[in-house]
Amino acid sequence: MPMERAPFGCLMDEPTLGYVYPSAQMRHPLPRLPLPEDFLNFVAGSGLGHSYQSMCRPRYLLFVILLALAGCVGPAERLPDSVPPKRVVLVVLAGDNDLSEEVGWRLDALKQGWTPAMGPLFVLEDRASIEAPRLLRLTCDEVGGKHYRTLASYPYLTDTTSEELWRTVLADVMRQSHPAAHMGIVLFSHGTGWLPEGMLAEPRGLLSDNGREISPELLGEILPADRVDYLLFDMCFTAGVEVAYALRERTPLLLVSSAEMVSPGFTPLYRSSLRFLYEPQPEGLKKWARDYASLVERQTDLRRSGTLSLVSTAPLDELAEAMQGMTLPSDLGGLQRFDRGGGAPLFYDLGQVISLQEKSRREQAEDCLRRAVLYEWHTETFMGYLPLKHHSGLTIYLPTSAYPQLNRAYDKTAWRRAIAL
């Protein structure tokens, strides 16, 4: 039976996957935290906009209602059935940790920013206030309202870092998508780049779920080949060359941060700039990155802190070859760091490290790095006291006697084996 469609292309009575697995133990919600008001002043489209307080005045009320309805209805929104979506977007909100409340912020912002003309939007939601991870899809009803429809629930796959859950969710998304559609993936959680599970107490993991984490290598094994147009990381410390190298065969583009992501991260952009995730790449991600830079640079407090890079993975094999046998700088104390811990740095600026190599090795590596980093941005300082004088767009770990256990873990990474450091 053909799928019934609401006016103007919104799905009605959309078939669900019908997966409801055996019940899991209920998890307890974290205390509710207020969303910082200064970040919520970034309103859709213009990048400037009014505050929510202003938008709620009576003279704006009719405009806001019409704008909301326009998100789901109108002749311009209708897509011919014969034209498949070029891309679907999957947003992974791994908040079964102390970020549980921020999952709600992002769900609200995504609903406000999405229109059906963009393309399908799926969300894997996991937080302490729900029994189990669940796969959602944003849809429209016949009067133009936007709603999250639950496609599947995974009560016995409660760990968002597990390979089984990832493979199941990806299969479910593909089953609900056009066979020719590609995928953009957004990941929100804690992040510590390539660092092994449990290495840092705060923040925790590339994706974090009750203390469990997922490595870049495992994520690279799980993702389908030739289907993922980009990975966008709404989390800390993801710009490591070790991370990019592990994912190079699964996606051509990564949007990453060398330092921490100051809360609420990309939340305002889900409301204002979501359309860029559906546009041709890399230009769409460049627009997203510029909107984020503009947002952060307008802050007047410690939230005026950030780094962002758009990385092409195509030159990374060549970069690894150019850096084979590189020498460690004799004085690591003068190098740019991006972590704020009191111990030896964990994330150094890759460009600065390359600049200290001998000329023949340096020139080839610098050329590869220029081609790999398509866009980079950073503030002058981070959190008011960490100077950011160097930012090439990628970071690197340098083995040190201070971390013998970490050095052994580093030896097992694909990047370390490739450069034979």
User: Mind listing the pLDDT tens digit for each residue in 205-224?
Assistant: 455 555 567 888 889 999 99
Q: Which of 314, 138, 355, 117 is nearest to 230 (CA)?
A: 314
Q: 22 and 141: one domain?
A: yes
The answer to whether 186 and 199 have CB atoms below 8 angstroms apart is: no
Name the domain count of the chain. Answer: 2
Decide if 208 is inside a domain: no
Q: What pairing do the DSSP bridges indicate for beta strands 146-153 and 134-140?
A: antiparallel
- Spatial CA neighbour of 341 closest among 406, 256, 289, 394: 406
252 inside domain: no
Q: Is residue 199 part of a domain?
A: no
Token pair belonging to 82: 């014969």
Tell me if 205 is assigned to some domain.
no
Strongest mean pLDDT among 104-108, 210-214, 399-403: 104-108
pLDDT at 245: 97
pLDDT band at 281 (very low <50, low <70, confident <90, very high): very high
117 and 92 within one domain: yes
Whether residue 341 lies inside any domain: the answer is yes
d(CA 110, CA 42): 14
Q: Is residue 17 a part of any domain in this protein?
A: yes
pLDDT in tens, 323-354: 998 888 878 888 999 998 778 899 999 999 99
Position 321, amino acid: E
299 lies in the same domain as 403? no
Co-location of 410 and 324 in the same domain: yes
Q: Say whether both 338 and 374 belong to one domain.
A: yes
Flag whether pLDDT at 379 surpasses 50.
Answer: yes
Say which DSSP state 39 is in. G
Q: Which one, of 103, 114, 67, 288, lies nearest residue 188 by Cα?
A: 103
Lowest mean pLDDT among 39-48, 236-245, 282-291: 39-48
Cα–Cα distance for residue pair 167/44, rounded to 1 Å: 34
Same structural domain, 270 and 377 = no
- 34 or 225, which is more confident: 225
Q: Tell me the whole-structure pTM to 2 decimals.
A: 0.81
Amino acid residing at 129? S
**Is 204 within the bounds of a domain?**
no
Domain boundary among 304, 332, 364: 304
Clarify whether residues 300 and 323 are in a common domain. Answer: no
Surface-to-core class of residue 207, CB atoms within 10 Å of its CB (0-12 exposed, 13-18 middle, 19+ buried): buried
Q: Supply the CATH number for residue 56's domain.
A: 3.40.50.11970
Q: 299 with 320, same domain?
A: no
Residues 293 and 391 in one domain: no
Q: Please tell me whether residues 69 and 165 are part of one structural domain.
A: yes
- Count of beta carbons in the 10 Å neighbourhood of residue 287: 16
H helices of 298-346, where?
A: 316-322
- SS3 annotation, 151-192: EEECCCCCCCCCHHHHHHHHHHHHHCCCCCCEEEEEEECCCC
Range of the domain at 361: 316-419
